[in-house]
Amino acid sequence: MTEDLIFRRPDAVWSDLDGQVAVLDMASGQYYEVRGVGGAIWRYIDEPRSLSQIVEHVMAGFDVERAACETDVRRFIDSLQAAGLLADGGD
């Protein structure tokens, strides 16, 4: 079994503003601000990535323990999914 791939929807327009990411969902008109680790994840999912790849990326850039990182990354990805900002990746 393979992991689902995670990546942003192409119609979610975004810009990097002084270290934070501003995202505009063109479908809904909703605006989001993403900071810190969330911004790093948003930039990284410009192409399909597995959850484990995202966790490894975060751990390489931030001082965090694996268990906490996995929990926080999953929570952030779930929030992006709930907001409708992720594309259907399948596996």
Share the mean pLDDT of the chain: 92
- Model confidence band, residue 88 (pLDDT cutoffs 50, 70, 90): confident
Specify the higher pLDDT residue, 2 or 13: 13
Q: Is the dihedral of CA 77, 82, 86, 91 positive or negative?
A: positive
Asked if CATH classification 1.20.1050 holds for the domain at 5-82, the reply, yes or no, is: no
Residues 36-55 have a mean pLDDT of 96
Domain residue ranges in the chain: 5-82
